[in-house]
Amino acid sequence: MLIKHANWRREHDVENITLEDIELEAKKDYVIPRGTAKCGRPAFWVCVKRHDKNTRDLDVLYKFIVYNVERTMSRCTLDMDERFVLIFDLRAFSMKNMDYQGVKVLVSILQTNYPEVLDRAIIVDSPFIFSACWAIIRPWLDPVTADKVQFTNYDGVKEYIEQSEWPDEYKNYSESEE
């Protein structure tokens, strides 16, 4: 597995992915590397409403995911294992945001090249329509990974991450403001 991973890193030139390579996705500003979870691991947030499956290039998205996983893992300290918390904000989610190909790429990258780096995936404020999407996505996940997925609201996120660690745009958000 280690040799496969090293070959994959070389093949995809992981060490040399730049912001210029992923500009199409980065300028959408839907991934926010911010905060440390209560478990001490770095977090990154995905504001799903800013992603449109119709305006993305799958190759660029692939590099974008790798870039963000690498950047988040680089925030791990030497005294911890390289794992992170991923928060998906599904407020204002619509089917234009549901990118099944993109999710397959994310799942493939994490399960094949970064196994066990996901500490927890928190899906926040998912609308009813997402339950049908989740029924399609869940079978793509390894059972261990699927067990790491938690559905909650923003008050529930406070169990995992102190509100002071949230991105600025979320710091004042709570159930009472919906």
Superfamily of domain covering 2-167: CRAL-TRIO lipid binding domain (3.40.525.10)
Environment class of 35 (CB within 10 Å of its CB; exposed 0-12, middle 13-18, buried 19+): buried
pTM across the whole model: 0.90
Q: Rounded CA gap, 166 and 122, in Å?
A: 13
- Quick one: pLDDT at residue 177? 47
Strand bridging mode 118-124 / 31-36:
unpaired
Going residue by residue through the chain, which has 178 residues, state the pLDDT in tens, using 9 for 90 and above: 889 889 999 999 999 999 999 999 999 999 998 889 998 899 999 999 999 999 999 999 999 999 999 998 888 876 777 899 999 999 999 999 999 999 999 999 999 999 889 999 999 999 999 999 999 999 999 999 999 999 999 999 999 999 988 988 887 776 444 4
Cβ-contact 73, 23 below 8 angstroms: no
> SS3 for 55?
helix
**Residue 108: how many CB atoms within 10 A of its CB?**
13
Cβ-contact 84, 42 below 8 angstroms: yes
The string of DSSP codes covering 39-53 is TS-EEEEEEGGG--G
Q: Rounded CA gap, 88 and 59, in Å?
A: 21
- Quick one: pLDDT at residue 168? 83
Cβ-contact 45, 170 below 8 angstroms: yes
- Quick one: pLDDT at residue 86? 96
- Quick one: pLDDT at residue 176? 45
Give every CB contact of residue 29 below 8 A, 6+ residues apart in sequence.
47, 50
How is residue 63 annotated by DSSP?
H
Q: Rounded CA gap, 53 and 77, in Å?
A: 34
- Quick one: pLDDT at residue 170? 81
